[in-house]
Structure 1
Amino acid sequence: MLVEHVRGGTNSNNVPASAFAMPAGMTMRYDLPDPALSEYLTGYAIYASNDRTPMLNWYLPAPAMISVLVDAGPLTVSVGNHRFGPLDRASFYGPTSRAFRTETRGGIAVGIGLSALGWSRLTARSAGEFHNRVVPLGSALGSDLSARLVEGLDALDDDTMIKPLLDAVFGAFFTRPHPREDLIRAFTALTVTDGVIEMKDVADRLDIPTHELRRMATRHFGMPPKLLLRRARFLRSFISLIRTDGMADYSKIDSSYFDASHFLRDAGTFLGTTPRRFIASDTVFLRASLRARAMVIGAPTQALHETAKAAAPVQNRPTGEQGRPQPNA
């Protein structure tokens, strides 16, 4: 079974094994999707744990993600005051504007990060329907995708085959372009640009009315543009502090913050607590994934992942991140 053969680490980018160091009994693996899928999927992650003792972990707000469990115990997710679970084997995590907490009991979680462009090609539904929600994958994106992922992963006995499997499955699902893809790409780039926070400024840069920007952001990104821009600004700043262990060095925060108290108010909104208290809580997998994801994929967290400006056309054929639930894909 796959659960007996997860080694952790990565087979791409020649990243040193030390990047994936985890406590005993836990492993983590990240992989890049096939280049033909890079605009639609932000990464593959696997977290695994041999320990069946209940474990809590906190994760940062993120864009949409698909999670598939393999030989994992009951899993529950809490977003703010809402609790979801026990989750189905294949679940869809909608875009979140709050840090969320998972309670796991060992096993493997395979995470697939989904970009706004990927969402636009998968479904005509609004991502805003799933803001801060976790639902069965079949109810969000259809039973066919859910069944292919679950059955495919169950048939594997080697973690190095997970990436080829995911590439093959998703290669058949992104063949229908959306007419506003250039706009979605451009807004994605602005959400990861330092200092960009005002909706009117963004609308002017994109040359669209603010009401059209609001509709586009909610439909494809899952929340209003102002909230998306604030989330990205906060995460850029928060992760800069984590990386340098300088939780009091507010010179590293985004240039659009007026002062430290302004940043701390956003921490209350997106973390539900202060940065120090959050990072001191149950964040074993979060801290490891920030390091590993940055080395393999190029951005420490999915919310700061910029969609590639161009990608090879998706062909309807097989094409060519890993460890314990839940992954930051």
Structure 2
Amino acid sequence: MQRKNSPAVDSTIAPQQGITRDGQPLSYNRAPAADLAPWIARLYVTIVQAPADYTLSCGLFNDTACVRIQLAGEWTAEAATGTERYGRAAIFFGPQSRRMPVSVTGSFTSIGMAIRPGACTALQGPRVGDFIDRLVPSGVVGTPSDRLLDLFAPDASSEEWLESLEGQLRKRVEHLGGSLPDPISSRFEEITFRDPGMSVSDAAAECGVERRKLERVVSRDFGMAPKQVLRRARALDMASHLRGVADAREGEEIALRYYDESHLIHEFTELFGMSPRQFVKTPQPILTLALESRQARRLEALHRIEPGQSRPWE
């Protein structure tokens, strides 16, 4: 599907970190410190100014578990367990199998850490399969919400906040002796970035294991079957392309991962709750922020850009 310019961010809100060439919002997001790269996928800070009575309705769709520290804003999410409401809190989000509707009232500040597949297993954290499409207080990952909130001084910079979050995880890693994620999960994660149209059998062969073993490891560390993980990755790349936060040179390749337009419409609608055409027409800044961060991580993981290098959509 040919991408048309997505609608610019609602002028009612003001992202502090700026916007893309197409007018889409940006967060401050970066790769983790090198010593934490086996466990952390991405770190971000999002600060958006909005009127106190303004409610932004949008969604989230993440392929990893995340710890999100909400310093401001009144949040609502439609999770697998029903409607969840949080103000100032630290929350563990499991991976999402489809777009999760969320809304926030007023200005908001969010600090986050995306957790690589297999890291929860390696660091004796929660079993991610138990938290698909769910969110719970951060105590489930060993650090109560109040303790995490205390890490972030109001007058600190975004980078200082992320360094504080990294420091907290570094203590956890050291306490557990630096136990690493399963290399099968790490290899499969790379496949989801490079070629999510690959068959599960071919992915198993590339990982050097039998299909049944790949299915067991992926189910444990991703919380979903390999076929679902690949299907989700394909849709997230397409969504990023449609929102203008992907490398435009990949547009044709991304579209060709679908057999035809009806295949695209069917899968995309099932996962995002709207057709690709509706998706392009509907402003959704929170989801776009998450997609942009994932694409930056993806391009860095595939060595198409270096950490800190300007991204194609900027």
- Please report the TM-score for the alignment, with normalisation by the length of structure 2: 0.76
The CA deviation at 1:125 is 3.7
The secondary structure found in structure 1 opposite 2:111 is strand
The CA deviation at 1:114 is 1.0
Asked if 1 retains the 8 angstrom alpha-carbon contact of 2:196 and 2:230, the reply is no
- Please report the TM-score for the alignment, with normalisation by the length of structure 1: 0.73
* 1:265 to 1:74, Cα distance in 2 relative to 1, 3 A: same
Asked if 2 retains the 8 angstrom alpha-carbon contact of 1:125 and 1:219, the reply is no
The secondary structure found in structure 2 opposite 1:75 is strand
Aligned alpha-carbon RMSD (Å): 3.4
Q: Which residue of 2 aligns with 1:236?
A: 237
The CA deviation at 1:212 is 2.0
**Cα distance in 2 between the residues matched to 1:102 and 1:287:** 13
**Cα distance in 1 between the residues matched to 2:81 and 2:151:** 34
Residue 143 (structure 2) pairs with residue 143 (structure 1): yes
Per-residue CA deviations over 1:278-327 (Å, capped at 9, x if unaligned) read: 23334123335645x3xxxxx5266x477699xxxxxxxxxxxxxxxxxx
Which structure has more RCO (C-alpha within 8 Å, separation ≥ 6)? 1
Residue identity matched to 1:143: T
Deviates more, 1:95-104 or 1:251-260: 251-260
**Cα distance in 2 between the residues matched to 1:97 and 1:162:** 29
Asked if 2 retains the 8 angstrom alpha-carbon contact of 1:92 and 1:134, the reply is yes
Identity %: 21
Alignment of 1:253-292 (within 5 A): 253-287=254-288, 290-291=291-292
Asked if 1 retains the 8 angstrom alpha-carbon contact of 2:41 and 2:113, the reply is yes
**Cα distance in 2 between the residues matched to 1:284 and 1:161:** 25
The CA deviation at 1:104 is 0.9
Comparing both structures, which one devotes a greater share of its residues to strand?
A: 2
**Cα distance in 1 between the residues matched to 2:180 and 2:163:** 29
The CA deviation at 1:197 is 3.2
**Cα distance in 1 between the residues matched to 2:198 and 2:82:** 28
Residue correspondences, number:
282
Structure 1 unaligned residues grouped into runs of 5+: 1-5, 10-16, 294-298, 310-329
Residue identity matched to 1:172: K
Residue identity matched to 1:158: A
Residue identity matched to 2:142: G
* 1:256 to 1:290, Cα distance in 2 relative to 1, 3 A: closer
Alignment of 1:104-183 (within 5 A): 104-105=104-105, 106-123=107-124, 125-138=126-139, 140-144=140-144, 146-153=145-152, 155-159=153-157, 160-175=159-174, 176=176, 177-178=178-179, 181-183=182-184
Displaced runs of 4+ in structure 1, greater than 6 A? 20-23
Structure 2 unaligned residues grouped into runs of 5+: 1-13, 304-314
Task: Choose the corresponding residue for 2:295, options 300, 314, 320.
Answer: 300
Q: Which residue of 2 aligns with 1:219?
A: 220
